[in-house]
């Protein structure tokens, strides 16, 4: 039976969230202090997302709010000029909160076991109270039309872990564009208190070099019997590695994995180490059974201790930041040049001349550059002759 207060409340005008034909059993009264609009929100269309201010983003990231972090990453990934401006402002604001994480890159050919490995490693770290962010750099979608890393539901178990944050690769674009977004996402994750940031990439094309240039420690996963060519050994990927892990060292494959590891150790002996003062070790692991995973992590920690003490880590980060700035300058110059109206207009004809063998490549390049500078090439030639 409703009490007196409730009966009186029912006699008040019908709130707009109550159906017209609501009978006496319909709960048209609301407890004091409860927001009726909050009650109706759970049904029907989801509430419209509020636009966040820079302060909202910064506060959310400080509070380690993963929903805000995810939105902040979306903001820096956006190609819309207004978003880019806001994104850069946000990055400048969070900069003092970055830099404390261990930045670890992981690469390997498709099927080598990257996601299984990261899931096993990430879960262990989270169980020990660490906060782990996993980012992917996968520009393959722009080349092959399909993403190598993103097609399947990956790292399901880890994604349910309270201490983990998993972000798939920014969508299709040039490697440079994808890398920029991932670097910025990495900074946002660090500001949000993730103390290990794993950047995963597929071992194809130039991806490894790009990821190497944004992390402290670079781990290359391999498997026995996949062939040197396939695993990028001829491309020099081994020379980028701070740690080689021969994965799938289990069951019948264990003996072959042990032989592959020994061979790797022999090869590494003759190569210059990727990090000064840290001879790259080759280890065995089974991402599936978990065997060897903690030894891999011990080695990663040892790497950080050694290179931090020697000042190599600090030096690496400084030169990475400078190189990144220069690559952004290059990117911007190239973009401006190819977007220039005169260049756009003359590019097909200059390309045709080079293809037909009528103009040497260098002369054609100079011609195009002159258009980019707003000088008509013929005028440039005359000026040269003066």
List contacts with ligand GDP (CB under 6 A): 108, 110-116, 247-248, 250, 286-288
Tokens encoding 368: 């195009």
- Select 74 or 116, whichever has its Cβ closest to ligand GDP: 116
Please report how close the Cβ of residue 145 comes to ligand GDP at its closest, in angstroms.
Answer: 18
* CA angle in degrees (0–180, nearest 5) for 88-89-93: 115
Comparison of 58 and 246: residue with beta carbon closer to ligand GDP: 246
* In the complex, least distance from residue 109 CB atom to ligand GDP, rounded to whole angstroms: 7
Closer to ligand GDP by CB, 115 or 207: give it: 115
Using alpha carbons, list the distances in angstroms from residue 109 to 105, 106, 205, 259.
14, 11, 11, 19
76 or 241: CB nearest ligand GDP: 241
Q: Which two tokens stand for residue 222?
A: 């391999």
In the bound complex, what is the minimum distance in angstroms from residue 128's beta carbon to ligand GDP?
Answer: 21
- Please say whether the beta carbons of 224 and 262 come within 8 A: no
| 3-class SS of residue 232 | coil
Give the residue at shortest CB distance from ligand GDP. Answer: 113
Q: Where are the alpha helices (DSSP H) in 53-151?
A: 54-62, 66-77, 81-94, 114-127, 140-144
Burial of 160 (0-12, 13-18, 19+ CB in 10 A): exposed
Strand order in the sheet with 196-202: 164-167, 132-137, 196-202, 102-108, 217-222, 243-246, 282-284
Question: Whole-number minimum distance, CB 221 to ligand GDP, in Å?
Answer: 7
Q: Which is nearer to ligand GDP, 47 or 111 (CB)?
A: 111
Q: Which residue lies nearer to ligand GDP by CB, 210 or 231?
A: 231
DSSP state for residue 383 in the 8-state scheme: H
Q: Shortest Cβ distance from residue 120 to ligand GDP (Å)?
A: 8
Cβ proximity to ligand GDP, 114 vs 316, nearer residue? 114
Q: Closest approach of Cβ 219 to ligand GDP, in Å?
A: 12
Q: What is the DSSP pairing of strand 102-108 with strand 164-167? A: unpaired
Coil, helix or strand for 102? strand
Q: Which H or E element spans position 267? A: helix 254-270
Among positive and negative, which fits the CA dihedral 278, 279, 284, 286?
positive
Do residues 275 and 242 lie in contact, with contact meaning Cβ atoms separated by under 8 Å?
Answer: yes
Q: Which is nearer to ligand GDP, 154 or 367 (CB)?
A: 154
CA angle 227/232/237 to nearest 5° reads 135
CB of 283 to ligand GDP, least distance (A): 13
Q: Name which of 75 and 224 has its Cβ closer to ligand GDP.
A: 224
Q: Shortest approach of ligand GDP to residue 300 CB, angstroms? A: 18
Q: How far is the CB of 124 from ligand GDP (least distance, A)?
A: 14
Q: What Cα–Cα distance (Å) separates residue 255 from each residue in 117, 246, 284? A: 20, 12, 11
């Amino acid at each position: 039976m409703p009490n007196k207060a409730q009966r009186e409340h029912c006699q008040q005008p019908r709130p707009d969230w109550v159906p017209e034909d609501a009978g006496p059993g319909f709960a048209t009264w609301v407890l004091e202090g409860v927001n009726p609009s909050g009650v109706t929100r759970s049904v029907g269309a989801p509430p419209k997302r509020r636009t966040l201010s820079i302060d909202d983003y910064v506060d959310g990231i400080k509070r380690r709010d993963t929903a805000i972090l995810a939105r902040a990453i979306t903001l820096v990934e956006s190609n819309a000029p207004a978003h880019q401006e806001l994104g850069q402002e946000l990055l400048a604001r969070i900069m003092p909160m970055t830099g404390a994480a261990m930045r670890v890159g992981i690469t390997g050919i498709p099927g080598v076991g990257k996601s299984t490995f990261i899931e096993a490693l990430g879960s262990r770290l989270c169980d020990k109270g660490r906060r782990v962010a996993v980012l992917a750099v996968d520009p393959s979608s722009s080349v092959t039309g399909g993403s190598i890393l993103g097609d399947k539901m990956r790292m399901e178990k880890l994604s349910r872990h309270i201490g983990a944050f998993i972000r798939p690769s920014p969508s299709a674009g040039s490697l440079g564009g994808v890398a920029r977004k991932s670097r910025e996402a990495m900074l946002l994750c660090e500001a949000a208190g993730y103390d290990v940031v794993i950047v995963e990439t597929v071992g194809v094309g130039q991806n490894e070099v790009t990821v190497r240039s944004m992390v402290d420690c670079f781990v290359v996963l391999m498997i026995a019997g996949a062939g040197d060519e396939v695993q990028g050994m001829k491309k020099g990927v081994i020379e980028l590695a701070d740690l080689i892990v021969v994965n799938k060292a289990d069951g019948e494959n264990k003996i072959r994995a042990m032989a592959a590891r020994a061979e790797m150790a022999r090869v590494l002996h003759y190569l210059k180490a990727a990090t000064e003062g840290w001879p790259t070790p080759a280890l065995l692991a089974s991402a599936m059974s978990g065997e060897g995973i903690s030894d891999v992590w011990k080695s990663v920690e040892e790497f950080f201790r050694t290179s931090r003490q020697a000042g190599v880590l600090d030096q690496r980060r400084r030169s990475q930041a400078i190189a990144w700035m220069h690559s952004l300058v290059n990117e911007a110059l190239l973009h401006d040049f190819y977007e220039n109206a005169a260049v756009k207009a003359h590019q097909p004809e200059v390309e045709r001349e080079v293809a037909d063998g009528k103009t040497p490549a260098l002369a054609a390049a100079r011609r195009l550059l002159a258009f980019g500078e707003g000088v008509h090439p013929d005028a440039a030639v005359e000026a040269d002759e003066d």
